[in-house]
């Protein structure tokens, strides 16, 4: 199935809204559909990874962030930020801290805010 970028973005936004409202099951279903038809797009991969972090599926999120997104875009600060979150949730604090510190140096304001919150917790 071919889907336009706009449709995939709309579906991703719907998945995010479900996730942030606490409807993890519906969020996962939506994001899995988005992933299935938008496999090659980094923003889609980010959306799936973020939804997986919120769902507590840290291993899946780490795989997407480390082995897919960062392989294609090694300087993707949002991916590094969420990789740090997933690693910290798994108790891999030292590795997470290294990612957060890099995001603090090179990320945008939003990314630095998230990294700072995790570094100071």
CA atoms within 13 A on the CB side of 16: 13
Domain 56-121 indexed as CATH 2.40.30.10: no
Round the average pLDDT of the chain to a whole number and report it: 88
In percent, the amount of the chain with pLDDT more than 90 equals 54
The domain ranges of the chain are 1-41, 56-121
Q: What is the mean pLDDT of residues 77-83?
A: 96
**112 pLDDT band (50/70/90 cuts)?**
very high
Cα–Cα distance, 96 to 87 (Å, whole number): 5
Whole-prediction pTM = 0.77
What is residue 105's predicted lDDT score, i.e. its pLDDT? 97
Q: How many helices (H) and strands (E) does the chain have?
A: 8, 0
């Amino acid at each position: 199935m071919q889907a336009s970028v706009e449709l995939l973005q709309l579906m991703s936004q719907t998945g995010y809204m479900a996730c942030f409202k606490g409807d993890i099951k519906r969020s996962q279903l939506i994001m899995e559909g988005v992933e299935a038809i938008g496999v090659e797009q980094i923003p889609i991969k980010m959306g799936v990874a973020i939804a997986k972090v919120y769902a507590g599926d840290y291993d899946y999120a780490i795989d997407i962030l480390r082995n897919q997104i960062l392989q294609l875009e090694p300087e993707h600060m949002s991916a590094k930020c969420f990789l740090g979150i997933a690693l910290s949730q798994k108790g891999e604090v030292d590795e997470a801290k290294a990612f957060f510190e890099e995001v603090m140096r090179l990320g945008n304001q939003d990314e630095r805010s998230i990294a700072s919150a995790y570094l100071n917790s």
